[in-house]
């Protein structure tokens, strides 16, 4: 398998051997919620990138689907006031254009988009000639080729700051997890492409706060390079994914309790 000539995470996002911690709410609900969460996360000193969903891909129609471009202004304010680089999910060429125009620092492709090669290609085409880091989640279903195919499409468009996000896989079986971790998929990707940074999204694997420490620690034990965890100023009132979000304080505690692997000598 041909290696991707991507930049190591450390070269474009220096942070030593510390895991890259990305945190923020599932959805940008209001300017106040976005700002309050960002300020509290900043205070923890544990977070390096702020995330928030601007366009929300809902499985069923008729629910909150994000504030769209209006909420990009709130992310701009987060950048100005806290200095956090910001990231949001993009699913169409228009999302890409609007995010780039608003100065979003890192883009990510969501699990419901990675399943569709046409959609990933549309995003890749919109990014031709643009130097921006892009993270790509695994597809909702356990299909490693589809995940690698999505990564290849972005790579062929010239993106060389790529990160894979392992967020677990949908299953028909009853399970303690919202999405089965199926670690073998991430391990397989890592074995085939050791050059590709992989981070883990414990929030969407777990679907509830209680399991987050276990999955986060497992990600560290498997030598994954970071975590994306949903954090909300008041999780109980969250408009989306309320059960899995944690307060900034709880997030700091969770990250502080992780045992990190010693770098190999
Ligand atoms: C999210 O990060 O809020 C999200 C919608 O995730 P996923 O694409 O993993 O379902
Ligand atoms: Mn979510």
Residue 27 lies inside a defined structural domain of this protein: yes
Q: How many domains does the chain have?
A: 1
φ, ψ for residue 238 (rounded to 5)?
Answer: -60, 140
Spatial distance between the Cα atoms of 194 and 167, rounded to a whole number of angstroms: 19
Which of 167, 170, 117, 159 lies closest to 138, judged by CA?
167
Answer yes or no: is the C-beta of 53 below 6 A from any ligand 1 atom.
Answer: yes
Summarize pLDDT for 126-148 with one digit per residue, the tens.
Answer: 999 999 999 999 999 999 999 99
Summarize pLDDT for 162-197 with one digit per residue, the tens.
Answer: 999 999 999 999 999 999 999 999 999 999 999 999
Task: Judge contact between 189 and 198, C-beta under 8 A.
Answer: yes
Spatial distance between the Cα atoms of 261 and 244, rounded to a whole number of angstroms: 26
Cα angle vertex 65, ends 108, 79, to 5°?
50
Range of 210's domain?
Answer: 20-55+65-256
- Average pLDDT of 192-215? 98
Residue 3 lies inside a defined structural domain of this protein: no
Spatial distance between the Cα atoms of 71 and 153, rounded to a whole number of angstroms: 28
Spatial distance between the Cα atoms of 39 and 254, rounded to a whole number of angstroms: 18
Residue 261 lies inside a defined structural domain of this protein: no
What CATH number did the domain enclosing 235 receive?
3.20.20.70
- Tokens standing for 116? 């569709």
Residue nearest to atom 3 of ligand 1 (CA): 26
Residue 2 lies inside a defined structural domain of this protein: no
Answer yes or no: is the C-beta of 111 below 6 A from any ligand 1 atom.
Answer: yes
Residue nearest to atom 2 of ligand 1 (CA): 26
């Amino acid at each position: 398998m041909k290696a991707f000539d991507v930049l190591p995470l450390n070269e474009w996002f220096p942070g030593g051997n510390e895991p890259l911690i990305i945190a923020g709410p599932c959805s940008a609900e209001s300017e106040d919620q976005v700002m309050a969460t960002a300020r509290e996360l900043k205070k923890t000193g544990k977070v390096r990138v702020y995330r928030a969903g601007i366009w929300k891909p809902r499985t069923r129609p008729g629910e909150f689907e994000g504030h769209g471009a209006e909420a990009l202004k709130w992310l701009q304010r987060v950048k100005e006031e806290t200095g956090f680089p910001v990231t949001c999910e993009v699913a169409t060429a228009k999302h890409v254009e609007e995010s780039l125009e608003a100065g979003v620092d890192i883009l990510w492709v969501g699990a419901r988009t990675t399943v569709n090669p046409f959609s990933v290609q549309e995003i890749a085409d919109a990014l031709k000639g643009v130097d921006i880091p892009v993270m790509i989640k695994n597809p909702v279903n356990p299909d490693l080729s589809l995940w690698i195919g999505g990564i290849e499409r972005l790579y062929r468009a010239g993106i060389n700051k790529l990160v894979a996000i392992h967020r677990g896989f949908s299953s028909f079986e009853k399970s303690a997890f919202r999405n089965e971790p199926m670690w073998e998929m991430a391990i397989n990707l890592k074995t085939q492409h050791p050059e590709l940074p992989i981070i883990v999204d414990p929030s969407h694997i777990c679907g509830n706060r209680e399991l987050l420490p276990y999955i986060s620690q497992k990600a560290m034990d498997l030598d994954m390079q970071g975590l994306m965890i949903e954090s909300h100023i008041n999780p109980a009132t969250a408009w989306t994914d309320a059960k899995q979000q944690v307060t900034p304080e709880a997030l700091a505690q969770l990250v502080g309790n992780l045992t990190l692997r010693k770098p190999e000598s």
